Chains A and B, each alone.
Chain A
Amino acid sequence: MEPVKVDEIIDKYPAQSSVLIQLLLDIQGEFSWIPREAIQCVSERLNIPLSQIYRVASFYKAMSLTPRGRHVVNVCLGTACHVRGATRIIDKVEDSLGIKTGETTEDMQFTLQRVNCLGCCALGPVMLVDKDYHGKMTPAKVAAVLKDYD
């Protein structure tokens, strides 16, 4: 983690506690997780207790307190995807990567997450790898999609 980056992010916002969630989202976006050092830095500069920052960071799904893989696989489990068989997609991804949902592969290549709705309901089941949307997924297509990111 480069502390300079954290400072740059903090400098973008006015120094008030209301910016905390936006700040943490930016840190998450920059490092793909929220390192302890970043939290300490935010705490000191904005004068917010560590406990309060951890409370926010552990409440929201978009924030991760552990390092994530180089590629983040999000399988949508919204209702539309669910009725079109999304659970089978996530089973297949778990199987292919050898990890459970929420975990990261040992080589730090992939993190697997479930997301409650990506809003591409018409194309369900949908799987998002980093910023690429893969619509109308089937268990058979999973391996081919993941291979592109290996």
Chain B
Amino acid sequence: MARVNSPKELEGLRQQILSERDPNKPCIAICAGIGCLACGAAKVVTVFKQEVEKQGLKLDVDIKETGCPGFCERGPIVVIYPEEICYLQVQPEDVPEIISQTIKEKKVIDRLLYIDPTTGEKSTYESEIPFYKNQHRLLIGQNIKIDPRSIDDYIALGGYKALAKALCAMTPEQVMEEVDKANLRGRGGGGFPAGAKWKTTRDAPGEPKYVIVNADEGDPGAFMDRSLLEGNPHSVIEGLVIGAYAIGSHEGFVYVRQEYPLAVENINIAIKQAGEYGLLGKNILGSGFDFVIDVHRGAGAFVSGESSALMTAIEGRVGEPRPKYIRTAVSGVWDKPSNLNNVETWANVPLIIDRGADWFRSIGTEGSKGTKIFSLVGKVNNTGLVEVPMGVTLRSIIYDIGGGIPGGKKFKAVQTGGPSGGMIPEQYLDASVDFDELTKLDSMMGSGGMIVMDEDTCVVDVARYFIDFLCDESCGKCVPCREGLKHMREILNDIVGGRGKQGDIELLEGLSRVMKKASLCALGQTAPNPVLTTINYFRDEYEAHIEEKRCPALVCKELISYHIDPDKCKACMICGRECPVSAISGGKGLIHIIDQEKCTRCGTCFDVCPTRFRAVKKISGEPVPAPVPEAERVLVRGNK
């Protein structure tokens, strides 16, 4: 690769890349994000390559493995260019037909298209699918067009143009002004204005200064940063270099969790390629500005995503937070001024520089500008990544984009903000989603996790889940967090285990108050939120667990029982065979009975009972009906 020495040469390179590409040449883009890989995308790619060769089209068709476009629910996703036909859930056996029909004959294969479950209408193009149609995809929209391992793909789409503009046509102050004016707020959850943070680091005494990408996406249920880093790593690098220029930093870090092996791989490749073009290293684009990036892998600790903890991890020490009387922007890595922003925040920077702060400000709400990516998961039809302008309502995200709740079930709550956020009930579905509105509901927007729960989800169980998670992840340095979480876990375990007692709810509230006020870092300060919001919005469910020993959602193992309805049992023996503890008696023609003493409430019988019988019943808070007397157990065929 030849080094690019000026913005002019960069533009020349872009033109050259474009001229070597025929826009009318068919290109098969296959999502190779982790989600689609888990659905078998790797096999699909291999078969496409073999089939293209077999049908003699090797030189006439490009095959591209791209980043994640977001519709993980329907993976593996394949888009055929130039027509942009979008096929979903493509299996290896569909490949020969796609080549012979769509590539050769230009015919669309109907059964691979998106079919609207309510109207039955088919969508040929990505832009027609309701999941995509209602989004505003500035950041993840390009993922399906880019092979993340090809810098040329990124440059062809105008990549690094913003960097050239910043380095060669703007002063660091002007770049800073632009980002400040855009009111770009931190996408990691804090919502702190990036411009103000950058200024603090720039003005802080001490050299060198560091800039850091926080890709330690630890919130369970969130994968926005993974898809950006995996799918479009150059956009993050470009943003980081621009920020470094504004701040006056010459060394940066990408801190990425090792649970994302593909992200680690792709960012390393991207850094290497950018270095070869001279977009990293000495005298970038002939501007005289030098900058290098080092990748650090996180080793599996949620608390290390906290800024001060992350910085000590970069130093090679245990990633624990410290009190932040002095901000990390002033004293961070090796006590030097260090500016840390989230992956998504950095990825927004090139857009702001390229299109201007005024354009960016035209998207979103008064206090929150731009778009936000959410990971819409849980009990919702269209799970995946969703990018919308700030200010869209929860209802619009869950119903218009997410397609509502599966199986005709009722919506119960949506959990936002990860373990630091809260659960928002149905009456607030029309709340708009931005940094400030969700905080008013005692939750937060957080980094973008959005977990939808239906009537079959027990909120007390979910609150316990989060406390359990945080209890494991608390570093133990400060007492309120370490001990507070431990005791909250015990109380919640008692409640879901049927041992709850009067006063437990008040005790949880009391512990929460202390933790919020006295914990060292945000992990402990926000840890009580899932408990407090569930007590606030679903107090009756806590009371049902404590007073009636009943789990209204029929989830908590110790509070439920299974029994077989003798009127519905057809003595098919499936449940008896599958029961892992042999708790079900009965044979052919003999109505089955669950031995309540032996039953471990694993739910296997409930799952395997054929839906046309639905004989296994789940109950809570009421006694199990007496088993059918021996004399009546014999099933007379045709009678029942």
B226 A119 Cβ-Cβ under 8 A: yes
A residues contacting the other copy or chain, number (CB 8 A): 46
* Stretch of A2-10, A56-64, A65-73, A103-111 contacting B (4+ beta carbons < 8 Å): A56-64
Contact B217 A119 (CB under 8 A): yes
Contact, CB under 8 Å: B299 / A119 = no
Encode A97-131 as 1/0 by CB contact (under 8 A) with B.
00000000000000000011111111110100001
Chain B CB within 8 A of A12 CB: no
- With both chains docked as a complex, state the minimum distance between the C-beta of B265 and any C-beta of chain A, in angstroms: 12
> Which residues of the other chain, B, contact A80 by a CB distance below 8 angstroms?
220-221, 375, 377-378, 383, 451
Bound-state Cα–Cα, A20 to B379, Å: 41
A33-B480 Cα distance, complex, nearest whole Å: 33
> B316: which A residues are within 8 A, CB to CB?
16-22, 56
Question: Whole-angstrom distance from the CB of B73 to the nearest CB of chain A?
Answer: 5
Chain B residues with CB below 8 A from A61, complex form: 299-301
Q: With A79-B378, A80-B377 known to touch, is A117 a contact of B222 (CB < 8 Å)?
A: yes
Complex CA distance for A131 and B249, rounded to whole angstroms: 37
Q: Would you call B297 an interface residue if the criterion is a C-beta within 8 Å of the partner chain's C-beta atoms?
A: yes
Number of A-B contacts (CB under 8 A): 148
Return the contact of A21 from the options B72, B297, B415, B462 (Cβ within 8 A).
Answer: B297
Q: Please tell me if B206 contacts chain A, counting CB pairs below 8 Å.
A: no
Q: Are A119 and B34 in contact (CB under 8 A)?
A: yes
Interchain CB contact under 8 A, A60 and B415: no
Contact of B453 among A24, A83, A123 (CB under 8 A): A83
Query: CA separation between A72 and B379, bound complex, in Å?
Result: 29
By a CB distance below 8 angstroms, the chain A residues around B34 are 118-120, 133
- Shortest C-beta distance, A125 to chain B (Å), equals 11
**Complex-state Cα separation, A19 to B465, whole angstroms:** 34
Partner of A117, one of B72, B221, B317, B466: B221
The listed residue (A63, A83, A95, A138) touching B379 by CB distance below 8 A is: A83
**What residues of chain B lie closer than 8 Å to A62, measured between beta carbons?**
258-259, 299-300
CA distance A6 to B336 in the complex (A): 32
Say which residue of A56, A79, A126, A131 sits within 8 Å of B318 (CB atoms).
A56
Chain B contacts for A79, CB-based, 8 A: 220-221, 377-378, 415, 418, 449, 451, 462, 465-466
* Majority DSSP secondary structure for residues of A touching B: helix
Contacts of A124 in B (CB 8 A): 377
Q: In the complex, A55→B217 CA distance in Å?
A: 23
CB distance from A45 to the nearest CB of B (A): 14
Residue in A closest to B465 when the chains form the complex, CB atoms = A82
Binds A, one of B14-22, B85-93, B346-354, B603-611: B603-611
Q: List chain A residues, Cβ under 8 A from B375.
A: 80, 121-122
Taking CB atoms, residues of chain A closer than 8 Å to B319 are 59-60
A96→B462 CA distance, assembly (Å):
26
Identify which of B35-43, B95-103, B559-567 touches chain A.
Answer: B35-43
- Which B residues lie within 8 Å of A133 (CB)? 34, 37-38
Q: Given the complex, which residues of B lie within 8 Å of A16, measured CB to CB?
A: 316
Query: B474 → chain A, closest Cβ, in Å?
Result: 12
B293-334 at interface with A (beta carbon < 8 Å): 296-297, 299-302, 313-319
User: In the complex, are the beta carbons of A123 and B259 less than 8 A apart?
Assistant: no
Inter-chain contact A120/B35, CB cutoff 8 Å: yes
Cβ contact within 8 Å between B377 and A121: yes
B219 within 8 A of A: yes
Give every chain B residue within 8 A of A19 (Cβ-Cβ): 316
Instruction: Check B462–A82 contact: CB distance below 8 A.
Output: yes
* CB-defined contacts of A22 to chain B, threshold 8 Å: 296-297, 316
Residues of B within 8 A of A83 (CB): 378-379, 451, 453, 457, 462
Interface: B384 (CB within 8 A): yes
Contacts A79-B465, A80-B220; A118 near B259 (Cβ below 8 A): yes
Measured CA separation A126–B223 after assembly (Å): 14
B580: interface (CB < 8 Å): yes
A49 at the binding interface (Cβ < 8 Å)? no
Q: In the bound complex, what is the Cα–Cα distance between A118 and B301 (angstroms)?
A: 13
For the complex, give the distance between the alpha carbons of A101 and B489 in Å. 19
Report the separation of the CA atoms of residues A117 and B418 in the bound assembly, to the nearest whole angstrom: 11
Contacts of A140 in B (CB 8 A): 578, 604, 607-608
A25 to B304, CA, bound (A): 15
Min C-beta distance of A133 to chain B, whole Å: 4
Complex CA distance for A22 and B298, rounded to whole angstroms: 8
Complex CA–CA separation, A116 to B305 (angstroms):
14
- Interface residue? A91 (CB, 8 A): yes
Give me the 3 closest cross-chain CB pairs, A-B, nearest first. A122-B72, A61-B300, A78-B220
Q: Residues of B at under 8 Å CB distance from A?
A: 34-35, 37-39, 72-73, 75, 217-223, 226, 258-261, 296-297, 299-302, 313-319, 375, 377-379, 383-384, 415, 418, 449, 451, 453, 457, 462, 465-466, 469, 473, 475, 578, 580, 602-604, 607-608
- Given A63-B299, A117-B219, A118-B259, 9 further pairs, Cβ under 8 A: A21-B316, A59-B319, A61-B299, A62-B259, A78-B220, A82-B220, A92-B580, A116-B218, A122-B75
Interface residues in chain A, defined as those with a beta carbon under 8 Å from any beta carbon in chain B: 16-22, 24-25, 52, 55-56, 59-63, 77-80, 82-84, 88, 91-92, 95, 115-124, 126, 131, 133-135, 138-140
* CB<8 Å pairs between A and B, sample of 13: A19-B316, A22-B316, A24-B299, A62-B258, A62-B259, A62-B299, A63-B300, A79-B377, A79-B418, A80-B220, A80-B451, A84-B379, A133-B38
